[in-house]
Structure 1
């Protein structure tokens, strides 16, 4: 058994409208319930304004939908889909008064969200001034738009047309362009949702300052051979034979973050685009399965160690979005978001058993090692030996402060409840280890990953959702209970920073 910080999924779409008009099948209760079932204790969702809607109005609408439903803590990114003086003013207000430190720009979805290169330049510049994290969906929208027209004219209407319209080179070109623009502005940039080998390789060439962050989704890591269907349609498309390469770049530290891009639809909703691939709502599941998929493909395969797993599923995201050490580690003063992870237990992924409301699961039938036995959310046991006990509305909105020290090391940093000097030392240490395989050390120090040790959960008195859940006092979770039935209880203390060592550029 391992005791580790709860997972942080920095990329979800709950209760959201698709680019094709459908509403996602999971709301904030259903999505965060699924998150807890998989070992994730915090999500970061997106605010996507309608055409005539302001950023502030869209933000308030999402807060009103999420606050009464979330079972775990959450934060928000704001999508900037048009550029104007009003948008500039609202970005300032969102950072100063609304707890936002990240803005996402799209290089695709023409006539909906797509920004021009000059607008990207201005957006990156504004993010740099604000100390915010500029995020990018990197695909060449102009080329995709033309490809869609050509393919439909040729009679290619099935889901394979989606993949053909968005080839790997179109993703890689946009990633390179985003990195070049950020470099000219001298702004960091966070490339979201990488799916191809060539796009990921572009990231690895932009090392040093300003920082370039690469984020990979669980779907790209879990599926190595893609058979196009309505259920696999997502943006950028899933690529065959890329998962091993992406895992290795994560292990070597050239990519730093994993998310799910959880954006679920029912089979009926997906089938609405059977005769025209451009009308298939893009999106796949992953919020519940992300942790197990990455453990299977990363740790169980031998590509990385458990400390690196903690880094890419929790700690790195906490550092990037400036919520470390409140989140992303087990430390005095941190939130009690803790997972007891059974690395030897297996499960078979199935839509019939998952906690999402969708009747589709792209990992259907996959057997994975690594299952959460207990999940503690803000001190409350919300999963116990497979029994999910979510509490609707128990989660909180977590403000994210500007100037995260990893992205803006020389600026006026605001490390949440942390020590900027210690964070800087950690960053220097990690930069020296970039590209090297890290391993668990047997020296005694503070760590976010512990084997065979459990701390007592803090019980709260907030009422539960009435779904047959029992009172926490009836829990069988006990600090006196041995996690291993061996005669000698195993205990390894590691000489790594809180959250675990990684070779990804964070300590």
Structure 2
């Protein structure tokens, strides 16, 4: 199967030019101008952008948490991702405390094989329990044998998935040996547990108390602690869903020193402040995610950190719980509301509209934040995350003039609400391809479940082709 994309404005993290792309056997085989060669399919991309497929390194699909399970399946979540220009995601495979890492991997592979994805997929290993010495050997094997080259640890959710500093540091030491990237959910879970118990004892049960019991300092302290421990262990560290200045500052300081520290934020922290939690009729329950929405002044700090390189990635933390029947489990107690929000479909729309069109950063930086940096950090580059000869033909033909109103009525996730309901954006994918196969064309899904495949990822700092390469992001 060959495809020729003609006359598009090709944009990568470093380039911006008009040209043609020729695709054979799932990969880009030639890039040039005025290419004249036979192809099974010819796509006229005149007046459109051609971008590398976006990579979402932070999702929770069919994820059991808070007494329920996220509502998107591997099919529905990846369909939604594809309509948003995402061609690869990396999901969190979570160890059940007391069980092996491999039983978790088997469970995630089973769920993915039963409800097949339409885009490519990798896994992170979320570690909750190292009490059995066998787990340390498993940490090596998931990297060496399974291509799962990142470890995730929760510094919050005490009594559930939270780990102590002993476990955190041991995993960091192991990551130094195995070549894995350590990811942390950075909040001080012990302090938050005290604040939540005190709030409930005082009769504070409404949704606004989700934010009041998780103040920014609890995120800042944990972020700094994780950075210092990772530096001591000489392990690379990636801080997920940074939401506030208190967490930005230690990341900025570490990066200024040249330490191996990277961090992401998510669209919800750029657009919503804590006032959304304080709505009548339990509407604030839709915005119960962790860390919580912050006071509004933190939003500009986040935008600035994205534009200056302090933050390296925009992910979604797509963790969808339906409002009716799931979020409402905590109607009378904010601590029982399942934590998480949707967003897998609208990341590119939002970052193009409010990042590029509003002059906060360039198209090159957009590609860097949504595709190239995630690929480099998570062992997918240069197979994915860029447009180059030999790379997978994961491509988005993007219409910069297409107007779209975001709505739950038209999105492709199974969740019953959209945080960005009514937002109007200009710019949306027209064609989305995974390894040269068209998945989305216009407003139609043209590929069925199973178009995506599991991807074994390279170790941190190595290229997916096997050659050693630097990670300068």
TM-score normalised by L of structure 2: 0.85
Residues 388 and 221 of structure 1, relative CA distance in 2, 3 Å threshold: farther
Partner of 1:236: 291
Aligned residue runs from structure 1 range 324-363, under 5 A: 324-363=381-420
1:292 aligns with one of 346, 349, 358: 349
Bigger CA drift: 284-293 or 365-374?
A: 365-374
Residues 1:56 and 2:98 are matched in the alignment? no
Q: Contact 2:231/2:260 (CA < 8 Å) preserved in 1?
A: no
Is the 2:211–2:274 Cα contact (8 Å) retained in structure 1? no
Alignment partner for residue 122 of structure 1, among 170, 174, 197?
A: 170
Which of 374, 381, 384 pairs up with 2:431?
A: 374
SS at match of 2:126: strand
Matches within 5 A, 1:25-36: 25-36=71-82
* Unaligned runs of at least 5 residues, structure 1: 406-413, 428-504
- Give, in angstroms, the shift of residue 119 of structure 1: 2.1
* Counterpart Cα distance in 1 of 2:274 and 2:249: 20
Counterpart position of 2:422: 365
| 1:197 matched residue in structure 2 | 245
CA distance in 2, matches of 1:235, 1:349: 23
Tell which deviates more after alignment, 368-377 or 284-293.
Answer: 368-377
**1:176-325 → structure 2 map (5 Å cutoff):** 176-207=224-255, 208-224=257-273, 226-228=275-277, 229-241=284-296, 242-268=298-324, 269-325=326-382
Given that 1:71 and 1:394 are in contact with CA atoms closer than 8 Å, whether structure 2 keeps it comes out as yes
- Tell me how far apart the structure 2 counterparts of residues 91 and 221 of structure 1 sit (CA, whole Å): 35
Q: Distance in 2 between matches of 1:184 and 1:236?
A: 26
- Partner Cα distance (1:3, 1:251) in 2: 22
Distance in 1 (CA, whole Å) between partners of 2:333 and 2:169 is: 35
**Partner residue in 1 for 2:19:** none
The CA distance in 1 between the partners of 2:267 and 2:253, in whole Å, is 23
Give the one of 145, 159, 164 matched to 2:207: 159
Question: Paired residue for 1:409?
Answer: none
Measured in 2, the distance between the counterparts of 1:255 and 1:143 equals 26
Whole-Å Cα distance in 1 between the matches of residues 110 and 447 of structure 2? 19
1:138-153 aligned within 5 A: 138-153=186-201
Superposed CA offset, 1:143-199 (max 9, x none)? 110011110011110111111110111111110111111111222111011111221
Tell me whether 1:38 sits opposite 2:84 in the alignment. Answer: yes
CA contact 2:458–2:466 (8 Å) conserved in 1: no
| Alpha-carbon distance in structure 2 between the residues aligned to 1:377 and 1:226 | 39
Q: Does 1:78 align with 2:125?
A: yes
Assess, with a 3 A threshold, how the Cα gap between structure 1 residues 296 and 225 changes in structure 2: closer, same or farther.
farther
Alignment partner, residue 445 of structure 1: none
* Count of residues in correspondence between the two structures: 415
- Tell me if structure 1 keeps the 8 A contact 2:208–2:274: no
SS of 1:67's equivalent in the other structure is helix
- Secondary structure of 1:365's counterpart equals coil
Cα deviation, residue 225, structure 1:
6.2
Task: Show the counterpart of 1:133.
Answer: 181
Of 160, 172, 175, the residue aligned with 1:112 is: 160
- In 1, the alpha carbon distance for the partners of 2:164 and 2:154 equals 9
Q: Is the 8 A contact 2:57 2:90 kept in 1?
A: yes
Partner of 2:463: 415
Shift in alpha-carbon separation, 1:126–1:396, aligned structure 2, 3 A: same
Matching residue within 43, 47, 58 for 1:11: 58
Distance in 2, matches of 1:362 and 1:28, equals 21
Following TM superposition, by how much is the alpha carbon of 1:40 offset from its aligned partner in structure 2, in angstroms? 0.4
Q: What's the secondary structure of 2:56's corresponding residue?
A: strand
Higher strand share: 2
Per-residue CA deviations over 1:283-326 (Å, capped at 9, x if unaligned) read: 10110011111112211110100000000001001001121010
Structure 2: segments with no counterpart, 5+ residues: 1-47, 278-283
Match of 1:389 among 446, 463, 471: 446
